[in-house]
Amino acid sequence: MDRIKTAALIVNAKSRKGRKLFKRACERLATLPYEVEPHAVDDPKHLDRIVRQALAKKPDLVILGGGDGTVSGLVDLLVGQDVMLGVLPLGTANSFCRTLGIPMDIDGAFEVLRTGQPRRIDLGMIDDDYFANCAAMGLSPQIAETVPHNLKKVLGRVGYLGWASYQFASFRPFILTVDDGKEEHRMRVVEVRISNGPYHGGQWLVDEAKVDSGRIVVQAVCARYKRGLVKNWAASFLGLEARHHDTVSFSGTSLKVSTVPPLPISIDGEVLAHTPVTAHIAAGVIEVIAPRQAGATPPA
C-alpha cells in the first residue's frame, strides 16, 4: 500500500442510512495509513461532478461508498485516470464487493482499505458504457422502468411489492438471440444476466463469470412459462444445484444480444439501455483494493 499517499472518499448519502454510514466511515479514516478527503453527496445527480473534482486533485485512490449502481455509474470516470478504486459496501446487494471478497461491514471493509492489495480486474461493457458487475433483462428491469415515480417513497415496501406483483402478472417469456461471432443462438427465456462477476442481486448466480477472466458471460434462464423464473429464483436463493438446471451460458470477449420484443436492460440495478446491444469485456482496465489472496467463493 506504499503506492497510496492521498485518497478521496465519496459516499452516496441520499438516504438516512447513507448519511449514518458516512459518519461511521469518517470516524474510521484515522485508521488508514494515508490522507483521505471525505465527500458526502446528498443528491446523486451531483456524484459525477464531485468525482471529477476529486480526480482533478490527482489522488492515488478513490473510495466509492454506495451500492452496485453507484459504483457502476461512476467507474467510467476512473478508467484511464491512473487511480485505484476502493469500495465501501453501503448498498443493499453489494454484489461487486461480494465478488471481490470485501466484507459486508464497515470495519471489515476499512481493514481491506488498510491492509489489502491492488488487484487489476476487468469491467463489463454494454455498448460503450462500463459496468462493474451485472446487467439483466427480464422482470426486474420491467419493474424498474415502469414503477410510478415516488411509489415506494409514498407507500413504502408494500406499494413497491404490489407494483412488482402487477408487473409479474403481465410478464411474458421472450426470445433471446446471442451472436458470438461464429453462430447465432436463439431460445425462449425468462431472464438474461450479462455478467462480469458471479453475484447478481446479492446471490451467487453465474459460476462462469470472474472479474479477471478477460471474458463476458451471458447467462439465460430458459423456460416457456414464467413459473420457470420463480423456480430458478427460489433455487438460487436457497443455493441449490437446481439453479443451473434451466440455464445456458455463453462467454467471449464480445457478444451481440437482441430480444423479441426489445427490452430494457438494468445495469447494476439502473435501467440504462435497451436491446439490441453488444456486451463486451474491457480486460484489466482498472485496479481495485481487494483483500489479500481473497475473492468470491461459491455457496456450499
**Domains present along the chain, CATH in parentheses:** 6-122+286-290 (3.40.50.10330), 131-284 (2.60.200.40)
Q: Over the stretch 241-271, which tens digit does the pLDDT of each residue have?
A: 777 788 999 999 999 999 999 999 999 888 8
Global model pTM greater than 0.85 = yes
Residue type, 81: Q
Q: How far apart are CA 255 and CA 182, in angstroms?
A: 10
Q: What is the mean pLDDT of the chain?
A: 88
Q: Spell out where the chain has E strands.
A: 6-12, 35-41, 61-66, 84-89, 117-126, 129-131, 134-138, 174-179, 184-195, 199-200, 203-204, 216-222, 247-252, 254-260, 264-267, 270-274, 277-290
Q: What is the pLDDT of residue 235?
A: 77
Q: How far apart are CA 186 and CA 248, in angstroms?
A: 11
Residue 294 pLDDT exceeds 60: no
Residue 199 pLDDT exceeds 70: yes
Q: Specify the higher pLDDT residue, 92 or 64.
A: 64
* DSSP 3-state of 222: strand
